[in-house]
Amino acid sequence: MRASSKSLAVHRFRLLLVDDDRELVELLAAVLRGEGYDVDVAFDGQRGLHLALTRPYDVVVIDRVLPAVDGLDRVSRLRSRSVRTQALMLTAMGSVHDRIDGLDAGADDYLAKPFDLGELTARLRALCRRAAELAVVLRIGAGRLELEQHQVVLPDGEKVPLTTREFALLRVLATHPETVHTRAALRRTVFCDAPSQSIVDTYVHYGEGGFVPHPPRTGGQVMDEYPWGTALSAVRSSSTGR
């Protein structure tokens, strides 16, 4: 087993905020960045559409009433171009009819202004989870985990095949990057047929190839709970490692 010099940070969910209320957008962007999201902003529908078509986002948060164009039209155009990014409409138009129109136009969620910040962030977390679960590719920093091929693609294009358990472990971590996972939880979800929890440590420390997390240590001992969604390092097998 030899460690690669290449490393990948866990995917940070990426959001696009589209609203002509600059004060609101700047406030939301600051709050969401503080919670660990990567956030881009646009103050009109045309710029928002351009960004959504040319950059990868997990969720687009868009106002319905925008200068020159309607937010419904922007969402409809995204869907007509096969852009499946999760979309949340955040707007003062909050009647039942308005919500129906928004959802029928292609929005995945709809929240009326004024809104509670806690509810908005909870809805964003739910949409990000859905985006990760529906994805065929999960971004990990500048690289990606390809779910159909069961492999990781490094930033330079090199492909690293994964064993079944390596893939299952990395998929759990990449799908829930902010979760602190315990040995017991990972044994249940990834290593359910293992006789003991020690197999989790085996994959963490020895890896058997692929991508494995490096948990923190306390006094030389592995902690019982790991923020494993915060750091993944590339580890490549030697010819005898598999």
Render pLDDT for 58-72 as a digit per residue (tens, 0 to 9).
999 999 988 878 889
Question: Across the strands, what pairs with 109?
Answer: 88
Higher-scoring residue by pLDDT: 223, 100: 100
In-domain check, residue 5: no
In-domain check, residue 242: no
Could you tell me if 124 and 27 lie in one domain? yes
In-domain check, residue 2: no
Across the range 18-30, mean pLDDT stands at: 95
Residue located via tokens 């004024």: 114
Q: Which of 163, 168, 174 minimizes the C-alpha distance to 139?
A: 174
In-domain check, residue 9: no
In-domain check, residue 1: no
* CATH number, position 57: 3.40.50.2300
- DSSP run (H or E) holding 56: none
Task: For residue 174, give the amino acid letter.
Answer: A
What pTM, to 2 d.p., does this model score? 0.59
Could you tell me if 122 and 149 lie in one domain? no
